[in-house]
Amino acid sequence: MSETPLLVRDVPEEALLARIFPLLPTAPTTLVGPGDDCAVVAAPDGRYVVSTDVLVEDRHFRRRWSTGYDVGWRAAVQNLADVVSMGARPAALVVSLVMPGDLPVDWVTGLARGLADACTPLGAAVVGGDLSGGDQVVVAVTVHGDLEGRHPVLRSGARPGDVVALAGMLGRSAAGLALLDAGRPDVDDALVAAHLRPDPPLAAGPVAADTGATAMMDVSDGLLRDAGRMARASGVVLDLDPAALVTDRDRLRAAASALEDAAGTTPDDRVGGWVLSGGEDHALLVTFPADVQLPDGFRVIGTVRPADGDRAGVRVDGAVAHRATGWDHFRA
């Protein structure tokens, strides 16, 4: 007979925090950690980058297939990716958690462990946050990063003649989500893991900045949508080579073939949609001067061209990419 799990409503807030705090990662730059009204974090550079993101239950994740560890990992990674795509080193996260009273305490401590395991390799600490009750789980993360003397790498710096490069994978998270949605996670464990616990090359962000990256961002909302944002911010055209976008097409095609086809949708159509429009892989999209030797882990996926009177945007193999596809928080 299984034990009845301990629920959040059965534990006083201070007792719950006492379970969480020892699990959170620390860092040398954390001068005062959780427990006071504010944390105190050193900023040796004199500047810091800051971003925030939210995960909402049944909008960004589903508890029926996501553990607390999965959600903690994802919440950390999507924020860490924003910091490294500016060329900074992640330093400190503040995490707020809204949760219903019937949430198991083990789910909450699992979330803390997921946060810790995603942050620790980069030396980032979780320095505080907040708890609140609500009808569903909401995880809100604010992340701070240290530029370590670098200039921030913006979306707006791509120049004609630059190469477009990518570190990481495309389409895997979207494929994993499609398998989960279809009730077929057994088809490919690695693709499902890519959705539940994305593992992008986060350490490559500061390296790209040191190598001379002119523009950078992480692919969180889909390649076409995010590349379009970079192109418009820079006033250029990003001309992408479809043959270079994905390195595991056979794997993605096998997953697509295992799913029931929608009317008129072929496995290759599915794969194309995942690669061009699927988000949450958090691959790093970067432009470099053409004469720069790319850092390890980056591959060339296109070139930067002048707009020449055309609208700034994205072309795929020379053709204008008209589809404004990708994740949209209010239409998805």
201 and 128 belong to one structural domain:
no
Q: 189 and 111 in one domain?
A: no
Packing angle, helices 172-181 and 267-277, rounded to 10:
120
Q: Is residue 332 part of a domain?
A: no
Lookup result for tokens 């500047």: 47
Do 110 and 67 contact (CB within 8 A), yes or no?
A: yes
Q: Quick one: pLDDT at residue 142?
A: 98
**Beta-bridge partner residues of 116:** none
- Beta bridge partners of residue 236, listed in sequence order: 306
Question: Residue 216 is part of a domain; what is its CATH number?
Answer: 3.90.650.10
Distance CA 80, CA 200 (A): 10
The whole-angstrom separation of Cα 197 and Cα 200 is 10
Residues 32 and 74 in one domain: yes
Classify residue 256: in a domain, yes or no.
Answer: yes
Asked whether residue 25 falls in the same domain as residue 98, the answer is: yes
Q: What element of type H or E holds 70?
A: helix 68-84
Looking at the structure of the chain, the number of domains it has is: 2
| Radius of gyration of the CA atoms of the chain, in A | 21
CA angle in degrees (0–180, nearest 5) for 52-97-109: 120
Quickly count: other Cβ atoms within 10 Å of residue 17's Cβ: 14
Are 120 and 258 in the same domain?
no
Looking up tokens 């479809």 gives 242
Show pLDDT as tens, one digit a residue, over the chain (332 residues).
567 899 999 999 999 999 999 999 999 999 999 999 999 999 999 999 999 999 999 999 999 999 999 999 999 999 999 999 999 999 999 999 999 999 999 999 999 999 999 999 999 999 999 999 999 999 999 999 999 999 999 999 999 999 999 999 999 999 999 999 999 999 999 999 999 999 999 999 999 999 999 999 999 999 999 999 999 999 999 999 999 999 999 999 999 999 977 667 899 999 999 999 998 999 999 999 999 999 999 999 999 999 977 689 999 988 887 555 654 544 55
Query: For position 263, what pLDDT does the model report?
Result: 61
**Do residues 176 and 251 share a domain?**
yes
Residue 35 tokens, joined: 């427990």
Write out the H or E segment, with its range, that includes residue 107: helix 105-119
What is the structure's pLDDT at 265? 83
Residue type, 87: G
Q: What is the pLDDT of residue 4?
A: 86
The answer to the question of residue 327 being in a domain is: no
78 and 159 belong to one structural domain: no
The CA distance from 192 to 301, in Å, is: 25
Q: Which of 116, 146, 176 is the last residue of a domain?
A: 146
Token pair listed for 302: 């296109």
> Residue 309 has what pLDDT?
72
**What number of residues does the chain have?**
332
Closest CA to 236 of 298, 172, 156: 156
How high is the pLDDT of residue 319?
Answer: 82
Same structural domain for residues 116 and 260?
Answer: no
165: containing domain: 155-320
Question: In terms of domains, do 241 and 189 share one?
Answer: yes
| Same domain flag for 139 and 284 | no
